[in-house]
Amino acid sequence: MHATALIAEDEPLLAANLQAELLRLWPELSIVGSVGDGVSALQQGLALQPDLLFLDIRMPGMSGLDAAQALAEDWPDNDRPLPLLVFVTAYDEYALRAFERAALDYVLKPVQPERLAKTCQRLQSALQARMQPATGEAALAPMLDQLRGLFGMGTAGLQAAATPAVPLRMIQASAGNTITMVPVSDVVYFEAADKYVRVITAEREHLIRVSLRDLLQQLDPQQFWQIHRGTVVRADVIASASRDESGKLTLSLRGHDTRLIVSRLYADRFKGM
pLDDT above 60 (res 162): no
State the architecture of 170-269 in CATH terms: Beta Barrel (2.40)
Predicted confidence at residue 98, as pLDDT, reads 67
The string of pLDDT tens digits covering residues 41-78 is 999 999 999 999 999 988 988 888 899 999 999 998 88
pLDDT above 80 (res 157): no
Predicted confidence at residue 161, as pLDDT, reads 47
pTM, 2 dp: 0.81
Predicted confidence at residue 83, as pLDDT, reads 93
Distances (CA, A) of 60 to 9, 32, 48, 228, 233: 10, 21, 21, 22, 28
Q: Which amino acid is at 50?
A: P
Residue 79's pLDDT band, with cuts at 50, 70 and 90, is confident
Q: CATH top-level class for 3-150?
A: alpha beta
Please report, for the chain, the start and end positions of each structural domain, with discontinuous segments joined by +.
Answer: 3-150, 170-269
Q: What are the strands, taking DSSP E only, across the chain?
A: 3-8, 29-35, 52-56, 84-89, 105-108, 170-175, 178-183, 187-193, 196-201, 205-208, 224-228, 231-234, 238-243, 249-253, 256-262
Number of neighbours of residue 47 by Cβ within 10 angstroms? 11
Predicted confidence at residue 135, as pLDDT, reads 56
Give the mean pLDDT of 202-210: 94
Between 96 and 230, name the one with better pLDDT. 230
Number of neighbours of residue 6 by Cβ within 10 angstroms? 23
Average pLDDT, the chain: 88
